[in-house]
Structure 1
Amino acid sequence: MTARIIDGKATAASLREDVAAAVARLKSEHGITPGLAVVLVGEDPASAVYVRNKGRQTVEAGMNSYEHKLDAGTSQDELLDLVAKLNADPAVNGILVQLPLPGHIDTSAVIATIDPAKDVDGFHVVNAGRLATGLPALVPCTPVGCVILARQVHSDLSGMEAVVVGRSNIVGKPVAQLLLNENCTVTIAHSRTRDLPEVCRRADLLIAAVGRPEMIRGDWIRPGATVIDVGINRIPTDEGKTRLVGDVAFDEAVEVAGAITPVPGGVGPMTIACLLRSTVEATRRQNGLEPV
């Protein structure tokens, strides 16, 4: 048995087309152009590439992109002042402060300063609380992408046994909540879970978000299960270079699973596409319009 490969690139491209159409309607029907502000502090190479891609795709979708690149020595107060200005700017509908931040800046304080209505990353405690209590919320983008990809395989997730390996506020906890909202039976597991392989084998739907390269082996997977691999890990090769792998041992898992996301090309492309969708959603809410 060889698993179906879930194509995150194609799904993300389709979602971006939907976003562009929604933006065009906002412009033509209401005279509104959504604006996304992204703040980058420092020179982290991976973050710089990510921010550049966000800006390009924002413009391609017909939205306004506002990029703020700050020196690594920028003080916390200076960053908080910028966030406050973006909160007050009516042209800015979404605010994203790229993580990780330099060590001298309190990430929690920065996230808490973002207006929850513009928190398109969905990290503010108000949005996390609304998600947890089943209220409309801006939701972290990667978890939303995971659910969309799972729906590429299963039109209805209701009743499925889902296991989420990872308990971060960015992926693990919110994706578990989203799956509860889809009427899955959800287990949140992690690196200290007793008999983790056996817990994983219970899953009809396995979400791997633990941040350890190829930790989840093929024999941890229930035959025919759907596997969504969130991990992006760079490991050395025998040739002295590096390559990207997920949290799942793909070559083993693809022989057991019913469907699986690759790394790269799976969850990764969905994150920016879902960010763009979140910006449109935030814009509509701020203008008293119903969600799309």
Structure 2
Amino acid sequence: MKRSIILMSFLTLFSCSENDPLENENSEKLVALDVSNTINSIDPLLPYQSPYGNNMYMPNSNPYASPVEYVFINETDYGMTIYPMIGLAYYDGIYDNKNFGWNLSLSQTPYLFSNSQEYLKIATCKSLYFAPHSYESTVGPIQLPTSGQTILPSKQFFDAPVLTTHEKGVLFEGGKFYGMEVGVGIPYDPNFPVTGMAGGWLKFRFLPDNVRDPRQVSQDWQPMPTNNISSNKDYWYNTKTREICPGNNPVLGQGNIFSTVPSERKFSYKGKDYELKAYTTATQVIVSLKQI
């Protein structure tokens, strides 16, 4: 897998259009979903469990931060490499150069606050590698493992070179793991081609595949103000927990870099089927590679 090729295909998802039909859609038309078997931590009408915004972890007296366990599961004979993509987790309701007590400025947060964007600036971390047949999880309480103070057993953490020490501290207490580039280290063998996608981009599942506007399911979700930045489109926030989530808008020019990214990829190799998957529970963020 060549990372540059994957990156080029992914960058085509950035949008430029300012005309978004979502703004004119009737959000009152509710979509019926069966959530009878869903134990939910954020919105009982939406089948999305989330460890973010449970009000349990309150550094700097910020009420929405959460203790989150990050779990990486590899149950195969092949290594798994990921490049986490991270950003601010919560929308505090206003563009005011602050995020729940964390100051945002060109001097303290030059990357997260570049172009006075304030929200939704995503940073890509260095690679993390998980060996065949391994299981690793973080030790809390933390919200995002951007500091070596809290690390995985393999001594890895989310290290984004573009971020300052202050920015890593902000995300340690109020950041979110939005998605990743992931690859499986399968040796090249012309006699055994890989069928499917043994790598690419993954995001964490939020909306069902057939839902583009969460307001069709629950009024607890509203669109993030774009602040006249087109790449901010198709982000949503929960009015109770303030968590930000990327949507599913597949229309070119109306989504963001995660809008058309899947939450799972399946592939076959030497007669065996495998699944790469990114998902959450009420307390965990999980990335797994398993044989199915």
Scaled by the length of structure 2, the TM-score of the pair is: 0.24
Scaled by the length of structure 1, the TM-score of the pair is: 0.24
The structure with more helix, counted as a fraction of residues: 1
The structure with more strand, counted as a fraction of residues: 2
